[in-house]
Amino acid sequence: MPNELPNLRIEIPYLLIRKVKGSSLSKEELLEFEKDLKKFESLVEKYKRRILLTISNLVGLEWEEKDIIIYPFPRSVKIPSISFPLIIALKKDPYFSLYCLIHELCHRFIELNKNLYEISFKKDKLKGESFAEFLTIEVLSRIFGEAKAKELYEEEKKIVTTRNMEESSKLVREFRRKYDLNKKTLFEYLRDGI
């Protein structure tokens, strides 16, 4: 019997937001945050089970975590989304915020699963990032369709400044050609050295 999916929940880190911002949120910032948060929470609630299950099924391994806490940040606080702790910098488009969540969940899944991490791209940061991007696109394609996945990925390419997106995009295309996740799981491909 497969392991249970992790419990995915949202906690608002108001003290951390204040510390990172250097002051409290203004009334306008708070209203914007609450509006963005409500849309994001609705999507997370609607799709969390499918997202977690799809990641596990595509990779072919089970989740190592029992609880995952999402810490959303308002648009007015300039902070990148990161995996550890799971901080999601909310965007105006709630689907793009969900895209960021899926991407960071893919990182967590890869990095916390010893079987996968040892045979993936742990020593090459660009390949590791591109690998998570590839998995994100595959998850999105299965949940929202290929067109929406492409739209969100194109949006990601416009705003990312932390890596060479041209090189990263090339690697993502290479992974998509190399790994047909309709035929085998990602773990099977990597274990077989493909």
pLDDT of residue 125: 76
Place of tokens 């799971």: 86
Per-residue pLDDT of the chain (194 residues; tens, 9 = 90+): 356 899 999 999 999 999 999 999 999 999 999 999 999 999 999 999 999 999 999 999 999 999 999 999 999 998 999 999 999 999 999 999 999 999 999 999 988 887 676 666 666 777 878 888 999 999 999 999 999 999 998 888 787 765 677 888 899 999 999 999 999 998 898 888 76
pLDDT of residue 66: 95
Place of tokens 């609880």: 67
pLDDT of residue 1: 37
Angle subtended by helix axes 146-159 and 165-178, to nearest 10: 150
At position 159, the amino acid (one-letter code) is I
Using an 8 Å Cβ cutoff, are 20 and 77 in contact? yes
Return the domain boundaries, the chain.
Answer: 7-191
Using an 8 Å Cβ cutoff, are 48 and 139 in contact? no
The four Cα atoms 185, 188, 193, 194 give a dihedral, to 10 degrees, of -30
pLDDT of residue 150: 92
